[in-house]
Amino acid sequence: MLISYKTLLDYSIYLTVLLGPLLLFQVYGLVELWLFSSLFVGWLLYIVAVVLIATNRAVGYALAFVLSLLVLATSLPQPEHYTFFSAGDLLAGVTFVIGSVLQLIILVLSPIHIFRLRKKARL
């Protein structure tokens, strides 16, 4: 049985929120305060997106799209993120890979869902 794109999108957003505390725990004390604060605020904004989605507000998907774009734009160019596995930091490497895949799913499926919602609203 295949799951719908919306279910995959929703679960990806929910899993991003669940992965947030693990990421915050891993980077606490390793990064400067401004960066940790930015990550924390980003996680809080993802919680806002989840609440909006859970209450059937389409703007939650737009917020999740913007957040996923920001996450990928800031994390993928960082060369140190690609050395986690070679440095033996398996947990950080797995967190980075899973988080990046979730963000890519959100980045691809959010516009599709928003487009379908708008198309449905016109009918």
Instruction: Give the amino acid at 11.
Output: Y
pLDDT at 74: 93
Distance, CA of 97 to CA of 122 (rounded, Å): 38
Q: What is the DSSP letter of 73?
A: H
CB 94 within 8 A of CB 14: no
pLDDT at 84: 85
- Compute mean pLDDT per 10 residues along the chain, 123 residues long, and list them: 90 97 92 94 97 95 97 90 86 93 97 91 78
pLDDT at 37: 96
